[in-house]
Structure 1
Amino acid sequence: MKGIVGKKGFTTNKKEGDGKSPIGMYSFGTAFGSGAKPSGMKLTYKKTTKYDYWVDDVTSKDYNKWITYKGVPTKKWKSFERMNHSLYRYGVVINYNVNPIVKGKGSAIFLHIWRGENGVTAGCVATSEKNVLRLLNWLNPSKHPHIIMDTIETL
């Protein structure tokens, strides 16, 4: 299936806001979306709300974490992603920079819906909604699935 990555390609030295996708092999975290949990999906699924944010503020203790917060987000963080975004109608967390979390090394790396096959992301991996749903239904946590992110030439 076709997919897209960061607007500036891949990197082995990911930095917050660089527009690059991190090279490596990563496990998957929580699947999420504003839609209902897809029938037959085995992954843990979290339905997003207007109160769900992924924090990419490198000065925050919440850096690279999903936070549910009912206050004014711009008063709490300098930078964040709203998890109820249309491109996140369905997606899954790619476990990049999670254990341990290193501030500034990059955050909010997901597999999610694209704007189109000629588009780019800010560092995530994206494909059509149909393909995201196929992948979410295919991924089986008992088989310990991973995603390999790299260029064809390097692979």
Structure 2
Amino acid sequence: MDEPGWAIVTPAGQFRFQGGTLRCALGKGGVVPATRKQEGDGATPAARMPLRRVLYRADRGPAPACAVAVEPLAPEDGWCDDAGDRAYNRPVQLPFDGRHEALWRADAVYDIIGILGWNDDPVERGRGSAIFLHLARPDFSPTEGCVALALPDLRRVLAAGLHGIEVRLQA
């Protein structure tokens, strides 16, 4: 039986939550066992990942209702994906000298970002960073390793009390 507040994600792009199934996008590298996840492989780790907090673009919509802390994004927010940097897999303020990604994007993909508990307690260099739950592109094209849902679906699962996701290797 699935645990209340937790979603099950399958390699076929199914996001199962509270008896329903939604379409999701996954990493372009497919789903890999957690022990094989590496920085830059484009894969989604098969793992149980709690939802730590949610970030959102206040200029593009209201704060989502959530069971976890919600914080607005700022233009200088980023995330370090440089395995050689001491801030690896942590939020950073831009400008930032190490390799990173900007969280304030021109497209809508990061208008809502669920920070998932992947490789963060403790951080192991090179095991992958910035595994988020975020908005899918209109065509549901693959992500860089994240799990992505359509905007209405993401808002709905967050409001329904999502606590985390479990990505599985098989359906």
TM-score w.r.t. the length of structure 2 is: 0.78
User: In structure 2, how many angstroms separate the alpha carbons of the residues matched to 1:146 and 1:30?
Assistant: 10
8 Å contact from structure 1 (residues 117, 127) kept in 2: no
Matched position secondary structure for 1:46: strand
Gaps of 5+ in 2: 1-21
Residue 117 (structure 1) shift: 4.4
Give 1:11-90 correspondences, 5 Å limit: 11-12=32-33, 13-35=36-58, 36-38=62-64, 40-69=65-94, 72-73=95-96, 76-77=97-98, 79-85=99-105, 86-90=108-112
Kindly indicate whether residue 141 of structure 2 is the aligned counterpart of residue 115 of structure 1.
Answer: no
CA-based RMSD of the aligned residues comes to: 1.5
- TM-score, length basis structure 1: 0.86
Structure with the bigger percentage of strand: 2
* Aligned partner (choices 31, 37, 40) of residue 10 of structure 1: 31
Encode CA deviations 1:2-61: one digit per residue, 9 max, x unaligned.
0010001011110000010001111111101113312x4332011111110110011110
Q: Deviations over 1:72-117 (max 9, x none)?
A: 32xx11x211111231101201100011100100000000001134
Counting aligned pairs with the same residue, the percent is 26
In the aligned structure 2, how far is the partner of 1:116 from the partner of 1:152? 25
Match of 1:131, SS state, is helix
Following superposition, which runs of at least 4 residues in structure 1 exceed 6 angstroms of deviation? none
Measured in 1, the distance between the counterparts of 2:166 and 2:118 equals 11
The answer (yes or no) to whether the contact 2:78–2:102 under 8 Å persists in 1 is: yes
- Note the residue ranges of structure 1 that are not aligned, 5 or more in a row: none
Count how many residue pairs are aligned between Structure 1 and Structure 2.
Answer: 143
Residue 152 of structure 1 corresponds to which residue in structure 2? 170
Q: What residue in structure 2 maps to residue 91 of structure 1? A: 113
